[in-house]
């Protein structure tokens, strides 16, 4: 137990500081985003906002002295050139992004993003020193069949093919626990024991190859459950969708760490 804890501490990128990331998806307006940034309260955790591309420049101007980082929600798998509609890693860097989501389940499901593309995106981000937030997680059917670990391992190995010892954030986001995919139901996060087990599993898969990883949880994190989830030593942060859209609820999550 002791050596496991030491290894965990040695390999965490953060030295214990949790990272809480708001994923605004395709919501809000630029003005709403600016008001939100101004109303964000400080907490112990590091804060990042994954905002729509068109918001990034204005948000950056309005962050002022606040320690808020910016994240892209996606990046092109291409580096530069005639790819209409795409946004490159270099462009995200110029816009001030420290992080970028890759392989979010909405992109995998709605836009048929595959593992090969995800690997290319991760490589592009790393080239421009943007830390990828790689989203992995099983869907309800895979979970029912007992395939959770197998799916996560396959997604991680594919996303990280040809990559070693770089700073990374891995977001464990079980698809069945993301509010998007629970419409009309009483939305629920994954249970604490599932979260601990899978975070430990992900760490065991990656710790020999990566010194600098943080494993965070996403899927219906809200002010009611954030303290229980974020107080776990295995959980080094959270990726928050629905509950990040109102600054009051995101502030409550930040204050719970």
Q: Which residues are catalytic?
A: 104, 173
The H-or-E segment that residue 31 falls in is helix 30-39
Q: Which stretch binds ligand PGA (CB under 6 A): 29-37, 70-78, 148-156, 214-222?
A: 214-222
Q: Which of residues 4-43 bind ligand PGA (CB under 6 A)?
A: 23
- Angle between helices 148-159 and 192-206 in degrees, nearest 10: 40
Shortest separation between residue 187's beta carbon and ligand PGA, angstroms: 7
DSSP string, 110-144: HS---HHHHHHHHHHHHHTTPEEEEEE---HHHHH
State the virtual CA torsion across 59, 61, 66, 67 in degrees, nearest 10.
70
Q: Does 170 bind ligand PGA (CB under 6 A)?
A: no
Q: Does 242 bind ligand PGA (CB under 6 A)?
A: yes
Which residue sits closest to ligand PGA, CB atoms considered? 241
Residues 12, 124, 131, 220: which binds ligand PGA (CB under 6 A)? 220
Shortest separation between residue 23's beta carbon and ligand PGA, angstroms: 4
Q: Does 223 bind ligand PGA (CB under 6 A)?
A: no
The H-or-E segment that residue 105 falls in is helix 105-110
Q: Does 239 bind ligand PGA (CB under 6 A)?
A: yes
Within 165-224, strands assigned E span 168-172, 213-218
What's the residue count for the chain? 257
Residues within the interface to ligand PGA (CB under 6 A):
23, 173, 178-180, 218-221, 239-243
């Amino acid at each position: 137990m002791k050596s496991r804890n030491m290894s965990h501490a040695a390999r965490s990128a953060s030295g214990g500081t949790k990272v809480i990331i708001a994923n605004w998806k395709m919501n809000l307006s630029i003005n709403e985003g600016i008001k939100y940034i101004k109303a964000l309260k400080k907490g112990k955790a590091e804060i990042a906002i994954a905002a729509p591309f068109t918001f990034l420049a204005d948000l950056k101007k309005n962050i002022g002295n606040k320690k808020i980082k910016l994240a892209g929600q996606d990046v092109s798998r291409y580096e530069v050139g005639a790819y209409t509609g795409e946004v490159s890693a270099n462009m995200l860097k110029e816009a001030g992004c420290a992080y970028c989501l890759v392989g979010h389940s909405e992109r995998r499901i709605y836009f048929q993003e595959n593992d090969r593309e995800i690997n290319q995106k991760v490589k592009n981000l790393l080239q421009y020193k943007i830390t990828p937030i790689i989203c992995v997680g099983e869907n309800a059917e895979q979970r029912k069949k007992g395939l959770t670990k197998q799916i996560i391992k396959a997604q991680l190995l594919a996303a990280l093919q040809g990559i070693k010892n770089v700073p990374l954030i891995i977001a464990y986001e079980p698809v069945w626990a993301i509010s998007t995919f629970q419409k009309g139901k009483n939305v629920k996060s994954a249970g604490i024991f599932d979260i601990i087990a899978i975070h430990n599993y992900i760490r065991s898969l990656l710790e020999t190859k990566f010194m600098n990883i943080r494993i965070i949880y996403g899927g219906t994190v809200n002010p009611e459950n954030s303290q229980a989830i974020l107080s776990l030593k295995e959980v080094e942060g959270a990726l928050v969708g629905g509950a990040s859209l109102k600054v009051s609820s995101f502030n409550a999550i930040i204050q719970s760490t």
